[in-house]
A and B are shown apart, each in its own frame.
Chain A
Amino acid sequence: MRTITLHDYKLRMLRVLVHIQKHLDDPLALEELARLACFSPCHFHRVFKGMVGESVKEHIRRLRLERAASHLKLSAAPVTHIAFDAGYESHEGFTRSFRAAFGLSPSQFRRSKKRKTATAAPSGLHYGHGTAVREFKTTRPRDRSMKVKIEHREPIHVAFMRHVGPYGEVGATWDKFLPVLGKEGLLGGDSLFIGICHDDPEVTPPDKVRYDACVTVDESFQPAGDIGVQVIPGGEYAVTTHFGPYQKLGETYTELLGQWLPRSGHELRATPCFEVYLNDPQSTDPEDLVTDIYAPVQSEPGFTNLTSKPNSKGNSRK
């Protein structure tokens, strides 16, 4: 069986990028974009950000601003209309974003001699490419020496407590969860402390982000109250270690899934990533925290139509 290459990943991502250019005014659901490229929705945002160099949201926002800039130059439409077309509800909000991107207010830009409507983008993709998007630059790995090993894991039985709310507040859930397990003698020296983040904090509103605080238990453990049991699927995982504060875990995920993975010959499986905390954040300086990140992978392509061209008829909405 042939291995998956960076080229395959780029072809699949191109379908998404073309679709976004053609549907800039539609609400673009992440699940739908992921499906277009045969990416599992639970990993798509990270793959996108790693490959394109900006999040889906940032990408769409930038293209809409570039389009607004071109409308300012080429049409006589009032700025308020253009702002509305760019997805802004207020003139002020539009002006602020526009100034941040172009260094001028929309009306100054219209009067100026500036012609360039493109803003800085690592991918080299800009508004106006439309269906002519044929190529984009993938972000180069920051640190090309990112150490990743492929590990086979048996299924992991865990007790967990679900946290729904801002990612930065998961500590409160751990604080509630660990004493309940601890007093039962369930925190032996070999217990693993695992986190599973089900949502992307950049896409999901902070109050809806789901995160599971997990501790390994044996099969005899009975769920009770707000403590549940789940099994983290076994199989092959790409594992890398994140050094430093938990707030920066997202960057390492992006690098692993969006930069290392497309060049690795592996495909993601549709089960969540998880992280294993190796030290105690209560007695460790944030800079010294060590966390292993596990991404579920397989070495065979999960899909058969990998090399087919971006399908122009593939858009499900009109």
Chain B
Amino acid sequence: MKTQQKLDLYKLHKAEYAATRKPALVELQPATFLAISGQGAPGGERFTASIGALYGVAFTIKMTRKFAGGQDYSVCKLEGQWGSESAQDFAKLPRDQWLWKLLIRTPDFIGEEDLRQAVAVLLKRGKGKAVKSVRLETLAEGPCIQMLHVGPYDKECETIAVMKAFAEKQQLQFSGKHHEIYLSDPRRVAPERLKTILRQPVRQS
């Protein structure tokens, strides 16, 4: 029957997404994502095309499955990992050297075959070659410091400083890629009202 409950991964893993404006230590379980990587400034041509490709693939997989009567689920919000090739703090480097990976959390029952089919059908419709770069990935971030950032993206350093102090107090140090979960739509929401979850994997120092 088609009356199955729709799966919402953020609600299912509530503890992993319940960030407030106070830093907290959370334990992340391994999770599956659709992902696309690149280098350059956020908002650049490559970046924008990648967001389109990622969403296109995510919706195509979801709708194909739904059409076939499979378990329905919500397409999660956009997430991103940020870093640089050097060990240096990426935020201090010129933006064209930033490495990013855009992510959309996806149920574990989505496999390589679903991805292959979706990419093929999107290519056939001429929806841009970028879809070929979308991959399925598992992230196992383990212990992370997490905090809700409210405001423009370029003020994130203030929130990160709070997270860092919180980590140090507990003898933890940042280790692994800076991760963000975009709760707001930057196309229309005013910068001062943008909500973003910041996540930073940590390990014992």
The residues of A with any CB-CB pair to B shorter than 8 Å are: 175, 178-191, 241, 243, 278-280, 282-283, 288, 290
Q: In the assembled complex, which residues on chain B have CB atoms less than 8 Å from the CB atom of A179?
A: 63-64, 66-67
Per-residue contact bits, chain B 161-205, to A (CB 8 Å; 1 contact, 0 not): 000000000000000000000011101110000000000000000
Given contacts A182-B63, A283-B76, contact A188 B187 (CB under 8 A): no
A-B contacts, CB under 8 A, total: 83
Which residues of B pack against A, CB within 8 Å?
A: 6, 8, 10, 49, 51-56, 59-60, 62-64, 66-68, 74-77, 118, 121-125, 127-128, 183-185, 187-189
Q: Could you say which residues of chain A place their CB within 8 Å of the CB of B67?
A: 179-180, 182-183
Contacts of A180 in B (CB 8 A): 67
Tell me the smallest distance from the CB of B44 to a CB of chain A, in Å: 15
Partner of A189, one of B56, B74, B76, B188: B56
**B residues near A178, Cβ cutoff 8 Å:** 59, 63, 66
Q: Is the CB of A189 within 8 A of B60?
A: no
In contact, B125 and A185 (Cβ under 8 angstroms): yes
- 4 other A-B residue contacts (CB within 8 Å) besides A185-B121, A282-B6, A283-B75: A185-B125, A186-B125, A189-B55, A288-B189
Q: Which residue of B lies closest to A288 (CB)?
A: B184
Considering only CB atoms, which chain B residue lies closest to A221 in the complex?
B125
Bound: A298/B51 CA distance, A: 35
Determine the chain B residues whose CB is within 8 A of the CB of A184 once the complex forms: 121, 125
Asked if A283 and B187 make an inter-chain contact with CB atoms under 8 angstroms apart, the answer reads: no
A185 touches B187 (CB 8 A): no
Pick from A178, A185, A243, A283 the residue with the most CB of B within 10 Å.
A185
A279 to B125 alpha-carbon distance, docked (Å)? 23
Contact A188 B63 (CB under 8 A): no
Cβ B125 vs Cβ A189 within 8 A: no
Given the known inter-chain contacts A280-B75, A283-B74, please indicate yes or no for A187 contacting B63, CB distance below 8 A: yes
Across-interface contacts of A186 in B (CB, < 8 A)? 125
